[in-house]
Amino acid sequence: MEVVIVPDAKAGGELIAESIAALWRRKPDALLGVATGSTPIPIYDALTAKVAAGDVDVSRARVCQLDEYVGLPAGHPESYRATVIRQVVEPLGLGADSFIGPDGSAEDVQAACEAYDLALASAGGVDLQILGIGTDGHIGFNEPCSSLASRTRIKTLTEQTRVDNARFFDDDIDQVPHHVITQGIGTILEARHLVLLATGEGKAEAVAQTVEGPVAAVVPASALQLHQHATVVVDEAAASKL
């Protein structure tokens, strides 16, 4: 695992955006796994600026989702599908068919999870997966004690994660779904390159356990230690407990 300490979130976003741009220059149809939350926004902003400047051609680029809420009404602005379209697909000018994600409104959620794992495999696998990290060390929506071999499946959110995400739902925890679909840790580990970005002091403890603690299901992000090409980009604040 490579750890890169950057001065701030903007620098982290620029560094990762450059590595994504380099990937798309080398492999124009590379599949980029995108994460939601506040942390990756500087990556998407920097990438959008590169595309606007003509630094990288994204006409064949593909993106895929990491996770999704279950049961939000179709078109809800906080569904991760809507979020990825707003933050990545539209700003980069990607076509609707360049984007895949799990169906959080499926009647048979288990079948939707299995279908998503198959879709990822038939797309040739994820070339670079962007990850954030929860304050409890979760990646995607793999909460503490998720199996390190898990596949895409339905999960129940912890109270802490629902509290953390209430800010996207008018600060009303009652609006935050209880269930989600997430790529499993085993699924995530199949991506060819994992890039985790963590910024701010609130992530410092989770980062320290991810990088310096034992590999343990209680800190799902520690599974990155098992991957042969994992990069953890942290700002000074998130690195403060290393």
Binding of residue 13 to ligand GLP (CB under 6 A):
no
Cα 129 vs. chain centroid, distance in angstroms? 7
Nearer to ligand GLP, 55 or 158 (CB): 158
Spatial separation of the C-alpha atoms in residues 136 and 118, rounded to whole Å: 29
Please state the length of the chain.
Answer: 242
Amino acid letter, 226: L
Binding of residue 128 to ligand GLP (CB under 6 A):
no
Binding of residue 36 to ligand GLP (CB under 6 A):
yes
Binding of residue 143 to ligand GLP (CB under 6 A):
no
Spatial separation of the C-alpha atoms in residues 67 and 151, rounded to whole Å: 12
Binding of residue 137 to ligand GLP (CB under 6 A):
no
For the chain, the farthest-separated pair of C-alpha atoms sits apart, in whole angstroms, at 45
Q: Which of 8, 22, 25, 38 binds ligand GLP (CB under 6 A)?
A: 38
Q: Among this protein's residues, is 67 annotated catalytic?
A: yes
Q: Among this protein's residues, is 2 annotated catalytic?
A: no
State the DSSP code for 203.
G
The DSSP secondary structure of 175-201, one letter per residue, reads: GS-SEEEE--HHHHTTSSEEEEEE-SG
Pick the catalytic residue from 76, 127, 138, 193: 138
Binding of residue 133 to ligand GLP (CB under 6 A):
yes
Q: Which of 46, 47, 58, 67 binds ligand GLP (CB under 6 A)?
A: 67
Binding of residue 69 to ligand GLP (CB under 6 A):
no
Task: Choose the stretch contacting ligand GLP; rule: CB under 6 A; options: 31-39, 53-61, 94-102, 107-115.
Answer: 31-39
Q: Which of 6, 23, 34, 35 binds ligand GLP (CB under 6 A)?
A: 35
Nearer to ligand GLP, 37 or 213 (CB): 37
Task: Choose the stretch contacting ligand GLP; rule: CB under 6 A; options: 105-113, 134-142, 183-191, 227-235.
Answer: 134-142
Binding of residue 12 to ligand GLP (CB under 6 A):
no
Least distance between ligand GLP and beta carbon 42 (Å): 11
The DSSP secondary structure of 49-101, one letter per residue, reads: HHHHTTSS--TT-EEEESEEESSPPTT-TTSHHHHHIIIIIHHHT--GGGEE-
Neighbours of 22 (CB within 10 A): 12
Q: Determine contact, residues 91/61, Cβ cutoff 8 Å.
A: no
Least distance between ligand GLP and beta carbon 35 (Å): 4
Burial of 122 (0-12, 13-18, 19+ CB in 10 A): exposed
Q: Which residues bind ligand GLP (CB under 6 A)?
A: 35-39, 66-67, 132-134, 140-141, 161
- Please identify every residue annotated as catalytic: 67, 136, 138, 143
